[in-house]
Amino acid sequence: MSEFTASSDDVTNESDVSGASVTIALDNLYTRRVTYLDQVDAPIALWNFNDTLNAVLGPNLTLDTGNFGFTDLYPGVRGIWLSPSTRFSAPPTPNLILLGAMSVEIILMQQSQPPHPWMCGVGGTAGSELAADNVSWAIGSPSLSGVMPFTQRSLWEQGAGSDVQFVTSAVSGSPSLSFIHQVSVIGYSRSAGGVVQPYMDGRTFGPPSAPLTMPTGGGSWVFTLGGQLGETTVGQILYMSIAVYDRERSASEFRGSYNRAVGQATGLVVA
Amino acid sequence: MSNPARRSPSGPPIPIDGLLSDEVDNVSSVPGSSLTIALDALLNRQVRYLDVNDDPLALWNFADTLNAVRGPNITTTTGEWGFTSIYPGVRALMVNVGARLSAPVTSSIILTGAMSAEMIVQFNSFPIAWICGVGGTVGSASAADNVTWSTVFNPAGVPRNLTTAWETGSGSAVSFATSSAPGAAALPPVHNIMSIGFSRASNGVVQPYFNGRVLGGPSGVLTLPTNGSNGAFSIGGQIGAVATQSFALMSVALYNRARPASEWLASYNRSMGHGLGFIVG
Average pLDDT over residues B67-95: 97
Residue A61 lies in domain? 35-266
CA A155 distance to own-chain centroid: 14
Rg of chain A on CA atoms, in Å: 20
In this prediction, the residues of chain A whose per-residue pLDDT falls under 70 are 1-5
Instruction: Give A-chain residues touching B88 at CB under 8 angstroms.
Output: 182-185, 201, 262-263, 266-267
- Residue in B35, B87, B42, B46 with CA at minimum distance from that of residue A31: B42
pLDDT tens figures, A8-20: 898 999 998 989 9
**Is B87–A266 a contact, with Cβ atoms under 8 angstroms apart?**
yes
Residue of A nearest to B22 (CA): A14
For residue B129, pLDDT beyond 80: yes
Residue of B nearest to A169 (CA): B82
Question: What secondary structure letter does DSSP report for B126?
Answer: S
Let me know: does A132 contact A219? Beta carbons within 8 Å: yes
The reply to whether B279 falls in a domain is no
The reply to whether A21 falls in a domain is no
The reply to whether B231 falls in a domain is yes
The reply to whether A10 falls in a domain is no
- Residue in B220, B184, B70, B80 with CA at minimum distance from that of residue A143: B80
- In angstroms, the CA B143 to CA B243 distance is 23
Question: What secondary structure letter does DSSP report for B22?
Answer: G
Residue B5 pLDDT grade (very low, low, confident, very high; cuts 50, 70, 90): very low
Instruction: Give A-chain residues touching B45 at CB under 8 angstroms.
Output: 267
Domain CATH for A73: 2.60.120.200
The reply to whether B160 falls in a domain is yes
For chain B, give the percent of residues with pLDDT over 90. 78
pLDDT tens figures, A89-98: 999 999 999 9
Average pLDDT over residues B8-33: 76
Flag the least confident range among A184-193, A202-211, B176-185, B246-255: B176-185
How does the average pLDDT of chain B come out, rounded? 92
The reply to whether A122 falls in a domain is yes
Instruction: Residue window 133-172, chain B: list those with CB within 8 Å of chain A.
Output: none
The reply to whether B29 falls in a domain is no
Domain CATH for B259: 2.60.120.200
The reply to whether A5 falls in a domain is no
The reply to whether B12 falls in a domain is no
Give the pLDDT score at A257.
98
**Is A175–B82 a contact, with Cβ atoms under 8 angstroms apart?**
yes
The reply to whether B48 falls in a domain is no
Residue of A nearest to B48 (CA): A267
**Is A175–B44 a contact, with Cβ atoms under 8 angstroms apart?**
no
For residue A117, cis peptide bond before it (omega within 30 degrees of 0): no
For chain B, give the percent of residues with pLDDT over 70. 93
- Contacting residues for B178 by C-beta, under 8 A, at least 6 apart: B161, B162, B163, B184, B185, B186, B208, B215, B216
In degrees and rounded to multiples of 5, residue B149 shows phi and psi of -165, 150
A261 touches chain B (CB under 8 A): no
Q: Which long-range contacts (CB under 8 A, 24 or more apart) does B151-154 make?
A: B151/B117, B151/B119, B151/B196, B151/B197, B151/B198, B152/B128, B153/B123, B153/B126, B153/B127, B153/B128, B153/B129, B153/B187, B154/B127, B154/B129
A145 touches chain B (CB under 8 A): no
Flag the least confident range among A145-149, B55-59, B106-110: A145-149
Give the pLDDT score at B191.
94
Q: Are strands B81-87 and A174-175 parallel, antiparallel or unpaired?
A: parallel
The angle at the Cα of A247, spanning A241 to A253, to the nearest 5 degrees, equals 60
ipTM summary value: 0.90
**Is A172–B89 a contact, with Cβ atoms under 8 angstroms apart?**
no
Give the pLDDT score at B3.
38
Residue B255 lies in domain? 58-273
The total number of structural domains that make up chain A:
1
The total number of structural domains that make up chain B:
1
A24 touches chain B (CB under 8 A): no
The reply to whether B140 falls in a domain is yes
Residue of B nearest to A262 (CA): B88
Q: Give the number of C-alpha atoms closer than 13 A to the C-alpha of residue B121, restricted to the C-beta side.
A: 29
Instruction: Residue window 196-235, chain A: list those with CB within 8 Å of chain B.
Output: 200-203
Instruction: Residue window 150-169, chain A: list those with CB within 8 Å of chain B.
Output: 150
The reply to whether B24 falls in a domain is no
Give the pLDDT score at A32.
85
